[in-house]
Structure 1
Amino acid sequence: MISPLFLAHGSPMLAVEDKPYTRFLKQLGDGIKPEFVVIFTAHWEEEKVTVSSHNGVYDTIYDFYGFPDELYKVRYPARGNVEAASKVTESLTKQGIAWTTDEQRGLDHGSWTMLHHMFPAADVPVVQISVNPYLSPAAQHQIGAALRDLTKQDVLIIGSGVTVHNLRAVNWGATKPDAWATEFDDWLIQHMQGNDLQTLFRYRTEAPHAERAVPRAEHFVPLYIAMGAGDLSRTEIIYRDYEFGNMSYMCVKF
């Protein structure tokens, strides 16, 4: 069994940086040998759950601009896997969750910047899946829960996002985390480790600084998907740091 993960993908510069977080990702990948990876990425939004299904090499999507040239030279030639995608869609069907497949889309930076460090040989098949930020936290959790049995088959499920993600609030010169950002993450940790799922579903009205931390939910909902795929009572904070004052790099194992 491989525990599901929520991982912060932060800046695209992760792909070319050597810092504590990238070294953490490498160590994390070194300790996991999955049959395949299922990754829900904040940078692919669809109304219906959309599952990548092909056996070819993914294109590396550079869904950002204004970064150094070296970043656009990185390639992550992971392969898809139709059989793996079928296992995902079968699990979704059993729980009554509507889905469709995609045979063309490459890996966006919510996926490849982290996988590049975790599995640098690109030898682990990847099934990339979209998110719908307009669904409720409970519905996000249900999507993850539909895939829970896959974790018993040595499948690594990753929710790729950021808990505190407000680009308008970043403080480029910050030398320590902003209090409001850490207070929001502290609230999440308290209720995750307290196995308090219903309160977590009400984060928008009950968590401190929720509107500021999550102005739009696309980066936040992968947390609930990973949570649903795992066991909330086994919540473990496996990494925590902040960049630019309030961009959270908190990572959670469920």
Structure 2
Amino acid sequence: MIKPLFLAHGSPMMAIEETNYTKFLNNLGNNINPKAIVIFTSHWDNNLLTISSADSVYNTIYDFYGFPDELYKINYPAKGSSITATKVENKLTAEGIRVEKNMTRGLDHGSWTILKHLYPKANIPIVQVSINSTLSIENQIKIGNALNSLACEDILIIGSGNTVHNLRLVDFESKVTDAWAKEFDDWLIQKIEKNDLDSLYNYKNIAPNANLAVPTADHFVPLFISLGSTPKLTPKIIFRDYQLGNLSYLCFEF
């Protein structure tokens, strides 16, 4: 069985940097050998869950601006998998979750910046799936629940986002972590480790600094899809760090 992951994708710059985090991702990929990867990316947000379903090589999407030219030359030529995409579709629809297929969209940076370090050879089939950030945390977990048998088929599920993601408050000169960001993550870790779903459902009202950590839910909800997609919840923190004062690189294995 391959356990689901929640991985931080941070700044697009991580694609061309060598840091403790990128070294961690490289090592992680060396130790996990999935037959295919299903990745829920915070940079594809639709009202209807949408599944990339082609077998062809993905285009690399540069969904950002103002970065060094080197970043726009990166190509991550992974192929899709219509077989895995159909499995995802069937499992979601069996639970009454409406989906649609997409045959043309490329990999956005919520996917390829992580995958480039995990599997630099781009030799594992990828199915990219959109999120719907307007759904409740309970419903995000239900999406994951519908897919929890994939782990037993050696299909790796990745939720790509950040637990603390507020670009208005990042500080490019900061060398220390803002206390409010750490407090939010501390609370989140405690509730996940205790399987306190009621608190997680109500995080907006009771988590410390939730309004600062999660001004919009798009980078937050992939965490709960991954959490829900494990056959047995045994959460483990596999990496934790912060950049730019408060951008969280908290990662879980479930």
TM-score w.r.t. the length of structure 2 is 0.99
Residue 244 of structure 1 pairs with residue 244 of structure 2: yes
Whether the 8 Å contact between 2:54 and 2:103 is mirrored in structure 1 is: yes
- The 3 A distance-change label for structure 1 pair 231 and 205 is farther
Residue 160 of structure 1: SS of its match in structure 2?
Answer: strand
Closer, same or farther: CA 212–231 of 1 in aligned 2, 3 Å: farther
The answer as to 2:132 corresponding to 1:132 is: yes
Is the CA contact (8 Å cut-off) linking 1:172 and 1:245 kept in structure 2? Answer: yes
Partner of 2:162: 162
1:102 maps to what in 2?
A: 102
CA distance in 1 between counterparts of 2:59 and 2:94 reads 31
Q: Aligned partners of 1:203, 1:3: CA distance in 2, in Å?
A: 25
**Alignment partner, residue 53 of structure 2:** 53
Counterpart of 1:84 in structure 2 is 84
Asked if 1:185 is matched to 2:185, the reply is yes
Q: 2 CA distance for matches of 1:47 and 1:194?
A: 31
TM, length-normalised to structure 1? 0.99
Partner of 1:6: 6
Q: Tell me if the contact between 1:195 and 1:232 (Cα under 8 Å) persists in the aligned partners.
A: no
Unaligned runs of 5+ in 1: none
SS at match of 2:65: coil
Please say if 1:25 is aligned against 2:25. yes
Equivalent pairs counted in the alignment come to 254
Q: Is 2:207 the partner of 1:207? A: yes
- RMSD, matched Cα: 0.8
Q: Which SS does the other structure have where 1:217 is aligned?
A: coil
Equivalent positions of 1:138-157 (< 5 A) are 138-157=138-157
Q: Where in structure 2 are there 5+ consecutive unaligned residues?
A: none
* Secondary structure at 1:234 match in 2: coil
**Residue 194 of structure 1 contacts residue 233 of structure 1 at CA under 8 Å; is this kept in 2?**
no
Q: Any residues of structure 2 matched to 1:230-241 within 5 Å, and which?
A: 230=230, 233-241=233-241
* Counterpart residue type for residue 2 of structure 2: I
Task: Tell me which amino acid in the other structure corresponds to 1:56.
Answer: S
Runs of 4+ in 1 over 6 A off after TM superposition: none
Residue identity over aligned pairs, in percent, reads 55
AA of the residue aligned to 1:216: T
Mapped partners of 2:194, 2:90: distance in 1: 32
Could you list the per-position Cα deviations for residues 20-70 of structure 1 after superposition, in whole angstroms to 9, with x for gaps in the alignment?
A: 000000001000110100000000011011000001000000000010011
Deviation at 1:232, TM superposition (A): 6.7
In the TM superposition, what is the alpha-carbon distance from 1:197 to its structure 2 partner? Answer: 1.3
| Conserved 8 A contact 2:144-2:227 | yes
Q: CA shift at 1:170, angstroms?
A: 0.6
Which of 89-98 and 175-184 deviates more? 89-98
Instruction: Give the Cα–Cα distance (whole angstroms) in 2 for the partners of residues 231 and 6 of structure 1.
Output: 15
Query: Which residue number in structure 1 is paired with residue 172 of structure 2?
Result: 172
Shift of 1:233: 3.9
